[in-house]
Amino acid sequence: MSTNGTGNNRFIDLPSRLEDALIKTAKTLPEWEMAGTFLAPSAIAQYRAELASVPQFGETVESLRAKLRTVDTGYTVVRLGNIAQELGFGEAFLRLATAILAEVAIPFQPFLRWPLWKEIGTNLAASPGMSTGIGYNAFHMDLVNATMPPDYSVLLCVRPDPLGAGASILSDARAATARLTPSSRALLADVVYRYGSFFELSDVGEEYRPFPVLDGEPDARGFIRFTAKMLTGEIDLTADHIRAAKDLADQLIAGQLSFILQRGDFLIVNQHKWLHGREPLASGQHDVAPEERRLLLQLFMRDASAV
């Protein structure tokens, strides 16, 4: 069952007073500096100092952290549409978004060939199920085959699908796993699953191949290492292992939430708890000018305690 996520309390709408103050502050924030692939501690400290006196910012950050870290949550959407309307999506806006996210965890750049904010555009020639494709992008976690995947995945909406589709989908992976039979959970704990390549990556550990879907670690440290894409193409798995993974896929769909990200929204997903994906874009994408098609920016974060 798919439910619309806009009615829950995981969306953060900023009060107008805070929006006005953040617009002013964004224009004075310095360019960020990196320490290797991580946002430099000096940059984080400087951003924090700049935002410390902004009225209502502290309360907003506390709400943001709570929505990501408490037992029954694991994602949130911060709505910066009015700020984007004023600033556009240039350096000032991205510095502000980065500064806000740095209050949750440390932004970093695991893909060496891409910048800190990586573009996810709409490519009509891409495989439909890929992140840049126009089809259904099934439930997954990012960098599933790394021993240390990012703790958080962030998606910033620059342009939604102008034809009104392409909803983000999310599902509580811990809850979905709890609904499985003991036999399915046992099979998912076997180190037999594989997906993806591994190159030009930094600070995500080593390649994990094969890996277990259920690693047995506590929720705050472990992952539900799942991507529905590992069940497509040639699969080197037993029928029982395939069935167990498909059972999990079914439970993820049964518990999914969906909503369309609007311009200026950024979605933060705690990868230890939730998986994400995307509904298909609307038909007729060939009639949409390339510069008007759906465009997201993606950023990854690492918990400070893990660095």
Q: Is 250 helix (H, G, I), strand (E, B) or coil?
A: helix
Distance separating alpha carbons of residues 40 and 34, to the nearest angstrom:
5
Confidence at residue 179, expressed as pLDDT on a 0 to 100 scale: 98
Q: Which CATH number fits domain 6-306: 3.40.190.10, 3.60.130.10, 3.60.10.10, 3.30.70.3420?
A: 3.60.130.10
What's the token pair of residue 217? 């670690």
**What is 116-167 written as a DSSP string?**
SSEEE---TTS-TTSTTSSS-EEEE-TTTTBSS--SEEEEEEEE--TTS---
For the chain, the residue count is 307
Could you list the pLDDT tens digit for every one of the 307 residues in the chain?
344 444 457 899 999 999 999 999 999 999 999 999 999 999 999 999 999 999 999 999 999 998 887 656 899 999 999 999 999 999 999 999 999 999 999 999 999 899 999 999 999 999 999 999 999 999 999 999 999 999 999 999 999 999 999 999 999 999 999 999 999 999 999 999 999 899 999 999 999 999 999 999 998 899 999 999 999 877 889 999 999 999 999 999 999 999 999 999 999 999 999 999 999 999 999 999 999 999 999 999 999 877 7
- Give the C-alpha distances (Å, rounded to integers) separating 10 from 6, 48, 73, 209, 246: 8, 24, 8, 34, 28
Distance separating alpha carbons of residues 89 and 212, to the nearest angstrom:
39
Q: Is 52 helix (H, G, I), strand (E, B) or coil?
A: coil
Q: Is 257 helix (H, G, I), strand (E, B) or coil?
A: strand
Nearest to 116 by CA among 131, 93, 94, 100: 94
- Burial zone of 93 (CB within 10 Å; 0-12 exposed, 13-18 middle, 19+ buried): buried
Amino acid, res. 166: G
Q: What is the pTM of this model?
A: 0.95
CB-CB contact of 78 with 100 (8 Å)? yes
pLDDT digit string, tens, across residues 47-74: 999 999 999 999 999 999 988 876 568 9
- Burial zone of 7 (CB within 10 Å; 0-12 exposed, 13-18 middle, 19+ buried): exposed
| Alpha carbon 188 to its chain's center | 23
The strand pair at 257-259 and 38-39 is best described as unpaired
**What is 184-200 written as a DSSP string?**
HHHHHTSS-B------S
What beta strand segments (E) does 5-144 contain? 11-13, 34-35, 38-39, 75-79, 106-108, 118-120, 137-140
Which residue ranges make up each domain of the chain?
Answer: 6-306
Distance separating alpha carbons of residues 300 and 127, to the nearest angstrom:
23
